[in-house]
Amino acid sequence: MEIMKEQLITFETAKLAKEKGFPIKLPNHEGHILEGNKPTQSLLQKWLREKHNINVFICYSNQDQPNYSCFIITKNEENHFMDITPGIQEDIYEETLEQGLQESLKIIKKK
Protein backbone atom coordinates (compact mmCIF):
# COMPACT_ATOMS: atom_id res chain seq x y z
CA MET A 1 0.00 0.00 0.00
CA GLU A 2 1.39 3.37 -1.05
CA ILE A 3 1.51 6.06 1.61
CA MET A 4 -0.08 9.30 0.48
CA LYS A 5 2.04 12.42 0.84
CA GLU A 6 0.96 16.01 1.12
CA GLN A 7 1.55 18.00 -2.05
CA LEU A 8 4.04 20.85 -1.55
CA ILE A 9 3.25 24.19 -3.11
CA THR A 10 5.52 25.40 -5.90
CA PHE A 11 8.21 28.03 -5.34
CA GLU A 12 6.14 30.53 -7.35
CA THR A 13 3.12 29.96 -5.10
CA ALA A 14 5.29 30.07 -1.95
CA LYS A 15 6.79 33.40 -2.98
CA LEU A 16 3.35 34.92 -3.64
CA ALA A 17 2.00 33.49 -0.36
CA LYS A 18 4.87 35.01 1.62
CA GLU A 19 4.20 38.41 0.01
CA LYS A 20 0.58 38.13 1.23
CA GLY A 21 1.56 37.28 4.82
CA PHE A 22 1.60 33.48 4.84
CA PRO A 23 4.12 32.45 7.54
CA ILE A 24 6.72 30.64 5.48
CA LYS A 25 10.45 30.59 4.95
CA LEU A 26 11.39 30.42 1.32
CA PRO A 27 13.92 27.86 0.13
CA ASN A 28 17.61 28.63 0.55
CA HIS A 29 19.87 29.40 -2.39
CA GLU A 30 20.13 25.67 -3.15
CA GLY A 31 16.37 25.36 -3.35
CA HIS A 32 15.96 23.36 -0.12
CA ILE A 33 13.26 24.10 2.43
CA LEU A 34 14.13 23.24 6.00
CA GLU A 35 12.41 20.16 7.42
CA GLY A 36 9.26 21.08 9.29
CA ASN A 37 8.78 24.18 7.15
CA LYS A 38 7.47 22.58 3.99
CA PRO A 39 4.31 24.41 2.91
CA THR A 40 1.62 22.11 1.58
CA GLN A 41 -1.35 22.90 -0.60
CA SER A 42 -3.75 21.90 2.17
CA LEU A 43 -2.00 24.14 4.72
CA LEU A 44 -2.18 27.14 2.39
CA GLN A 45 -5.80 26.30 1.55
CA LYS A 46 -6.62 26.28 5.29
CA TRP A 47 -4.80 29.60 5.84
CA LEU A 48 -6.73 31.24 3.00
CA ARG A 49 -10.01 29.96 4.47
CA GLU A 50 -9.31 30.92 8.10
CA LYS A 51 -7.43 34.22 7.65
CA HIS A 52 -9.05 35.64 4.53
CA ASN A 53 -12.46 33.93 4.13
CA ILE A 54 -11.34 32.57 0.77
CA ASN A 55 -12.53 29.05 0.03
CA VAL A 56 -10.89 27.09 -2.77
CA PHE A 57 -12.85 24.04 -3.95
CA ILE A 58 -11.87 21.48 -6.55
CA CYS A 59 -14.60 19.43 -8.23
CA TYR A 60 -14.31 16.48 -10.58
CA SER A 61 -16.16 16.61 -13.87
CA ASN A 62 -16.49 13.64 -16.19
CA GLN A 63 -18.17 15.33 -19.10
CA ASP A 64 -16.32 15.21 -22.44
CA GLN A 65 -13.10 14.19 -20.74
CA PRO A 66 -12.14 13.69 -17.11
CA ASN A 67 -10.98 16.93 -15.55
CA TYR A 68 -11.07 19.03 -12.42
CA SER A 69 -12.52 22.51 -12.03
CA CYS A 70 -11.58 25.12 -9.45
CA PHE A 71 -14.16 27.26 -7.65
CA ILE A 72 -13.18 30.19 -5.42
CA ILE A 73 -15.75 31.67 -3.03
CA THR A 74 -15.14 34.62 -0.71
CA LYS A 75 -17.08 37.31 1.17
CA ASN A 76 -17.27 40.96 0.19
CA GLU A 77 -17.35 44.00 2.49
CA GLU A 78 -21.11 43.54 3.05
CA ASN A 79 -20.43 39.95 4.21
CA HIS A 80 -22.12 38.47 1.13
CA PHE A 81 -20.61 35.45 -0.59
CA MET A 82 -19.06 36.11 -3.99
CA ASP A 83 -18.07 33.57 -6.59
CA ILE A 84 -14.77 34.68 -8.10
CA THR A 85 -14.11 31.46 -9.95
CA PRO A 86 -11.41 32.03 -12.59
CA GLY A 87 -12.41 29.17 -14.92
CA ILE A 88 -9.45 26.94 -14.11
CA GLN A 89 -9.70 23.39 -15.45
CA GLU A 90 -6.91 20.79 -15.49
CA ASP A 91 -6.60 17.03 -15.81
CA ILE A 92 -4.78 16.67 -12.48
CA TYR A 93 -6.30 17.59 -9.11
CA GLU A 94 -3.09 18.99 -7.61
CA GLU A 95 -2.39 21.20 -10.64
CA THR A 96 -5.93 22.57 -10.50
CA LEU A 97 -5.60 23.30 -6.77
CA GLU A 98 -2.20 24.97 -7.25
CA GLN A 99 -3.63 27.36 -9.84
CA GLY A 100 -6.62 28.07 -7.62
CA LEU A 101 -4.35 28.85 -4.69
CA GLN A 102 -2.35 31.27 -6.82
CA GLU A 103 -5.51 33.03 -8.05
CA SER A 104 -6.80 33.25 -4.47
CA LEU A 105 -3.56 34.83 -3.27
CA LYS A 106 -3.77 37.46 -6.00
CA ILE A 107 -7.02 38.87 -4.60
CA ILE A 108 -5.56 39.51 -1.14
CA LYS A 109 -4.65 43.16 -0.71
CA LYS A 110 -1.06 43.80 0.39
CA LYS A 111 -0.70 44.66 4.03
What pLDDT score was predicted for residue 49?
94
Interval 42-53 mean pLDDT? 94
Confidence of residue 26 (pLDDT cuts 50, 70, 90): low
Question: Taking a C-beta distance cutoff of 8 angstroms, is the pair 22, 44 a contact?
Answer: yes
Where in the chain are the domains?
11-28+38-106
With helix as H, strand as E and coil as C, how does 73-104 read? EEECCCCCEEECCCCCEECCHHHHHHHHHHHH
The pTM (predicted TM-score) of the whole model is: 0.81
Residue-wise pLDDT tens digits, 76-90 = 777 777 777 767 888
CA distance 7 to 9: 7
Residue 37 has pLDDT above 70, yes or no: no
CA distance 16 to 26: 10
Q: Which residues pair with 71 in a beta bridge?
A: 57
CA distance 21 to 98: 18
